[in-house]
Amino acid sequence: MEIKVNYLDNLRLEARFDDFAVISDQPVRYKGDGSAPGPFDYFLASSAMCAAYFVKVYCNARDIPTDNIRLSQNNIVDPENRYQQIFKIQVELPEDISDKDRLGIIRSIDRCTVKKVVQTGPDFQIEVVENLDEDAQALLTAAPGGDGNTYIEGKDLPLEQTIANISGLLADLGIKIEIASWRNIVPHVWSLHVRDTAAHMCFTNGKGATKEAALCSALGEFIERLSCNFFYNDQ
């Protein structure tokens, strides 16, 4: 998922992804205004909310009410190394929940995506680029041809040519498409969000085994919706 960050006043920051915006700030003691949580606060909250989400999914699937279920998380910091921390998640369950479901709820928390990513240890790649938008938009503007094209058995054209054809067709109609975000949540499954740069509510999503396949899927659905007057009508 692509997240773009804008600098606001003082130490306030705005992170934008999809159609959402998140504001962060720093405490007054760190020369901020204390107007919003800090970036690390959001990180801590993400693991707690992820755990709570998996509890909710487990309970919904078994018609277990969550009204009296409470969950909290505390991070215990090693005094010798502040980057060495223990995330302690506690869940309070009503007495009428069976032992089987208690164990199931604990196991569901263990499936938390944030927890698993942190435990696996993500790699960070930091680089300077000429234009942040170029990488996301490169597939829309790449010239097809050569040995690098992606052919699928049974299809008339390679994916790159199909992308160029659909992008050109939309451009002839005066519609400029932008890729708003990418996601590669699991191996070999890409999803992306494309939209009209002049009308962000006119959008589609696509999925595929590669970036090119996902983009073709999204552009094809955009054309289909366009042909059905799904967009741009006032009714």
- At residue 109, does pLDDT exceed 90? yes
Strand order in the sheet with 13-17: 4-7, 13-17, 20-24
- At residue 92, does pLDDT exceed 60? yes
The share of the chain scoring above pLDDT 70, in percent, equals 86
Place of tokens 């007054």: 28
Identity of the residue numbered 159: L
Segment 59-86 shows an average pLDDT of: 95
- At residue 121, does pLDDT exceed 60? yes
Each residue's pLDDT tens digit, 155-206: 677 778 888 888 888 888 888 888 877 788 778 888 888 887 777 778 888 8
Tokens of 38: 């800090």
Q: 15-24, 115-124, 189-198: which has the minimum mean pLDDT?
A: 189-198
- Rounded to whole angstroms, the Cα distance separating 164 from 193 reads 17
Strands (E) across 36-106 are located at 70-78, 81-92
- At residue 27, does pLDDT exceed 70? yes
What predicted TM-score, i.e. pTM, was given to this entire model? 0.66
- Rounded to whole angstroms, the Cα distance separating 97 from 101 reads 6
Sign of CA dihedral 29, 32, 33, 37: negative
Tokens of 40: 């690390």
Give the residue from 175, 161, 157 showing the smallest Cα distance to 223. Answer: 175
Is residue 235 very low, low, confident or very high in pLDDT (cuts 50, 70, 90)?
very low
- In terms of pLDDT, which residue wins out, 125 or 232? 125
CATH-assigned architecture of domain 37-124: 2-Layer Sandwich (3.30)
Each residue's pLDDT tens digit, 40-54: 999 999 999 999 999
- At residue 234, does pLDDT exceed 50? no
Give the residue from 17, 18, 35 showing the smallest Cα distance to 26. Answer: 35
Maximum Cα interatomic distance, the chain, rounded to a whole number of Å: 66
Domain 132-227 -> CATH class: alpha beta
- At residue 34, does pLDDT exceed 50? yes
Integer-rounded Cα radius of gyration of the chain: 23
- Rounded to whole angstroms, the Cα distance separating 142 from 220 reads 18
